Chain A
């Protein structure tokens, strides 16, 4: 009974999530679709061909987006992990101030700081390069990963590590064998956040990449400001894929237990 009700609830949620994608799907395969018609009067593969044609811009842009977002996810976790560990685990003086500074990049509009960063990057020769874009994507992602990982490093992981130390594990091995497996799901969530934030950057990419670094959002924006709903819908579908993959992954964790597990805090003892 309860199970059936849960399933019905899930179906409603799934429908609500999926419904807005229906017109996108229809548009992506439409050839001719005029006003009062409920469905396109003609179908076409023009949108799909545009997406996958060899030598086209979409494949290249997708690859660039994947590379930059992947690198951003890894780097922002690498930077956010020690910060989150320190904040989650230790009490120290001026902790509030440290948190404030970590959050500053998302409190200040990124556009404002990026203007200055742009000038510096030009001087350093990093402007107009994918590496420069990757670096500037860290500005909005690191605060998020650091804050997510702060909550992941609950007090309990510190105690487990202390236990491991007295049993003969060096600081590094205690982290590797005891803490890391505990926080792995939380690290995955933080990485996912980093990936998605980078994946959907437009303004920062445009400013620092200067049009030389073409990511998927660049194509999507120009298509959307043009007048071709078929191409726009096709791009939008590709653009939303990582978010759907992320949602499915998250659902797997959520299904296996409660949301605590997703954040790696573990069950309360």
Chain B
């Protein structure tokens, strides 16, 4: 296959205190977004719709001008550079293939704009189509292709320009589930192969976790957390972040002398918590039904068999907890059990006002 690209092609991207307001409403779409993307890294802008992730992408592409802040590529501001000279190719939610051009002309478009010779364009179109497994479709018209095929062509059309920054705006969200998974693999593969610095926008938490080296979680135009996917499960920055990633166990308490006073009793932590009101969280998979440190009696209020696991609801001194257990474990509803919250799995969230 194609040899790995020289790292010089992909760029380091920095966003500095980026803000954007909608012209019509004056509402902020982005507020003070700052982050850095390393060369060859794939990061995901994750958040519910309307959180500003597409706005951020368009600002990077140069299709929108930020109200304030800066976009730096390899340390140089690109705000004054028009979109066609930024080297930031974008793939959109819709394939947006040019309907009056063949697949070949669509893919070759970027090279044509760069005045690359016909010969060379033809060869590179062929290679790129092979890369997205669309060889043999060069002469087709866009409306003769399925949605997934169109999106592959759109990807090829962006890749052929050898972008310094590759921008993907929910390119998989219009595809059905099977196809989406397959395309996910393809995106990851070509991105790794080419070593493109990539920003991927999605509202699908699973997609972000599977694809991204790092995730930037945005709510209402503000960056909530920017870290590796694992950290969003183990060390969420806030209760909202934890909830977005499916956390349901929250225990109020007051930290004192390193331990936390809760309705469940004295809970020990692996690391000291700052004194004051706190919220503790723990993943359902980390809760144990056993005796030991941080254990307490609990009442089983519900059991649901989910095939690959058993979801169990507990009530302990008025605190509701969810537990995920392996499928062979079968606690009975109404049973009294002993539950344990391992100190290493408890994470302290600051109580938000």
CB interface residues, A 213-269, toward B, < 8 Å: 266-267, 269
Residue of A nearest to B61 (CB): A166
- Say yes or no: is B231 at the interface (Cβ < 8 Å to chain A): no
With contact pairs A91-B24, A167-B161 given, residues A160 and B84 touching in the complex (Cβ less than 8 Å) = no
CB interface residues, B 90-112, toward A, < 8 Å: 90, 92, 94, 96, 98-100, 109-110
The residues of B that contact A160 with a CB separation of less than 8 Å are 96, 98
With contact pairs A159-B94, A182-B99, A269-B94 given, residues A166 and B63 touching in the complex (Cβ less than 8 Å) = yes
* Cross-chain contact of A178 among B84, B88, B94, B98 (Cβ < 8 A): B98
The residues of B that contact A167 with a CB separation of less than 8 Å are 84, 89, 109-110, 113, 157-158, 161
A177 to B98 CA separation, bound complex (whole angstroms) = 9
- Say yes or no: is B123 at the interface (Cβ < 8 Å to chain A): no
Chain B proximity mask over A147-177: 1 for CB below 8 Å, otherwise 0: 0000000000001101111111111011001
- Say yes or no: is A210 at the interface (Cβ < 8 Å to chain B): no
Assess whether B82 is in contact with A170, with CB atoms less than 8 Å apart: yes
Residue tally, chain B, CB below 8 Å to A? 28
Assess whether A166 is in contact with B109, with CB atoms less than 8 Å apart: no
A171 to B92 CA separation, bound complex (whole angstroms) = 19
A169 to B90 CA separation, bound complex (whole angstroms) = 13
Assess whether A182 is in contact with B96, with CB atoms less than 8 Å apart: no
CB interface residues, B 41-68, toward A, < 8 Å: 61-63
With contact pairs A159-B96, A178-B98, A267-B143 given, residues A168 and B90 touching in the complex (Cβ less than 8 Å) = no
Assess whether B114 is in contact with A164, with CB atoms less than 8 Å apart: no
- Say yes or no: is A181 at the interface (Cβ < 8 Å to chain B): yes
Assess whether A164 is in contact with B99, with CB atoms less than 8 Å apart: no
Assess whether B113 is in contact with A168, with CB atoms less than 8 Å apart: yes
How far is the CB of B11 from the nearest CB of chain A, in Å? 15
* Cross-chain contact of A168 among B98, B100, B161 (Cβ < 8 A): B161
Assess whether A164 is in contact with B63, with CB atoms less than 8 Å apart: no
- Say yes or no: is B167 at the interface (Cβ < 8 Å to chain A): yes
Assess whether A165 is in contact with B63, with CB atoms less than 8 Å apart: yes
A162 to B94 CA separation, bound complex (whole angstroms) = 12
A162 to B100 CA separation, bound complex (whole angstroms) = 16
Assess whether B99 is in contact with A163, with CB atoms less than 8 Å apart: no
How far is the CB of B120 from the nearest CB of chain A, in Å? 15
Assess whether B63 is in contact with A162, with CB atoms less than 8 Å apart: yes
Assess whether B96 is in contact with A169, with CB atoms less than 8 Å apart: no
CB interface residues, B 5-51, toward A, < 8 Å: 23-24
- Say yes or no: is B274 at the interface (Cβ < 8 Å to chain A): no
Kindly name the residue among B82, B84, B143 whose own CB sees the greatest number of chain A CB atoms within 10 A: B84
Assess whether A266 is in contact with B89, with CB atoms less than 8 Å apart: no
How far is the CB of B124 from the nearest CB of chain A, in Å? 14
The residues of B that contact A93 with a CB separation of less than 8 Å are 24
A4 to B30 CA separation, bound complex (whole angstroms) = 60
- Say yes or no: is B83 at the interface (Cβ < 8 Å to chain A): yes
Assess whether B98 is in contact with A166, with CB atoms less than 8 Å apart: no
Residue of A nearest to B93 (CB): A159
How far is the CB of B98 from the nearest CB of chain A, in Å? 6
How far is the CB of B167 from the nearest CB of chain A, in Å? 7
Residue of B nearest to A173 (CB): B113
A91 to B22 CA separation, bound complex (whole angstroms) = 11
The residues of B that contact A164 with a CB separation of less than 8 Å are 98, 109, 113
* Cross-chain contact of A166 among B23, B90, B114, B143 (Cβ < 8 A): B90
A170 to B84 CA separation, bound complex (whole angstroms) = 6
Assess whether B157 is in contact with A159, with CB atoms less than 8 Å apart: no
* Cross-chain contact of A182 among B23, B63, B86, B100 (Cβ < 8 A): B100
How far is the CB of B168 from the nearest CB of chain A, in Å? 11
CB interface residues, A 178-220, toward B, < 8 Å: 178, 181-182
Chain A proximity mask over B160-171: 1 for CB below 8 Å, otherwise 0: 010000010000
A162 to B88 CA separation, bound complex (whole angstroms) = 12
A1 to B94 CA separation, bound complex (whole angstroms) = 39
A178 to B110 CA separation, bound complex (whole angstroms) = 12
With contact pairs A91-B24, A267-B143 given, residues A166 and B88 touching in the complex (Cβ less than 8 Å) = yes
Residue of A nearest to B110 (CB): A167
With contact pairs A91-B24, A266-B99 given, residues A163 and B90 touching in the complex (Cβ less than 8 Å) = yes
How far is the CB of A187 from the nearest CB of chain B, in Å? 14
CB interface residues, A 35-73, toward B, < 8 Å: none
How far is the CB of B152 from the nearest CB of chain A, in Å? 15
A244 to B328 CA separation, bound complex (whole angstroms) = 81
How far is the CB of A151 from the nearest CB of chain B, in Å? 18
A181 to B94 CA separation, bound complex (whole angstroms) = 20
The residues of B that contact A163 with a CB separation of less than 8 Å are 90, 92, 96, 98
The residues of B that contact A269 with a CB separation of less than 8 Å are 94
The residues of B that contact A174 with a CB separation of less than 8 Å are 84
With contact pairs A91-B24, A173-B113 given, residues A165 and B96 touching in the complex (Cβ less than 8 Å) = no
With contact pairs A163-B90, A163-B92, A163-B96 given, residues A169 and B167 touching in the complex (Cβ less than 8 Å) = no
The residues of A that contact B100 with a CB separation of less than 8 Å are 181-182
A176 to B96 CA separation, bound complex (whole angstroms) = 17
How far is the CB of B14 from the nearest CB of chain A, in Å? 19
Assess whether B84 is in contact with A165, with CB atoms less than 8 Å apart: yes
Residue of A nearest to B115 (CB): A168
Assess whether A159 is in contact with B92, with CB atoms less than 8 Å apart: yes
The residues of A that contact B161 with a CB separation of less than 8 Å are 167-168
Report 16 cross-chain contacts, Cβ distance below 8 Å, ordered by A residue.
A162-B83, A162-B90, A162-B92, A165-B61, A165-B83, A166-B83, A166-B89, A167-B109, A168-B85, A168-B110, A168-B161, A170-B84, A173-B113, A177-B98, A182-B100, A266-B99
Give the 4 A-B CB pairs with smallest separation, nearest first: A168-B113, A166-B90, A167-B110, A165-B83
